[in-house]
Amino acid sequence: MSEQPSLFEQLQTLATEQKNPHSTHIDTASVEEILRVINTEDHKVPIAVRRELPHVAEAVKIVVEAFRNGGRLFYVGAGTSGRLGVVD
């Protein structure tokens, strides 16, 4: 019988929970280099989002259908994700 990894172990493997090798020395970089790193990494976002558009579309359809049936959408988050939920 193989033991399934715990949720915590699974979450630790997500790309969002990994160190970014391009920003490991950001604390000692110049202001210009920090901005360059941030800008370079920010350019990767729309490419990643584009790859996931079919999944996002499916999620939106599910939420819209839930709204039509009297359902609600709950946002759960802390920090920036929590604040963005309030803005929406």
| Mean of pLDDT values over 51-70 | 98
The answer to the question of residue 36 being in a domain is yes
Please report whether residue 68 resides in a domain.
yes
pLDDT bucket at 20, cuts 50 / 70 / 90: very high
Residue-wise pLDDT tens digits, 64-80: 999 999 999 988 888 88
Asked whether residue 41 is assigned to any structural domain, the reply reads: yes
Give me the domain span that covers residue 36: 22-87
State the total domains in the chain. Answer: 1
pTM (predicted TM-score) = 0.65
pLDDT of residue 1: 58
| CA nearest to 19, candidates 1, 36, 41, 2 | 41
How many angstroms separate the CA atoms of 39 and 33, rounded? 10
Q: 64 lies in a domain?
A: yes
Provide the pLDDT for residue 81. 81
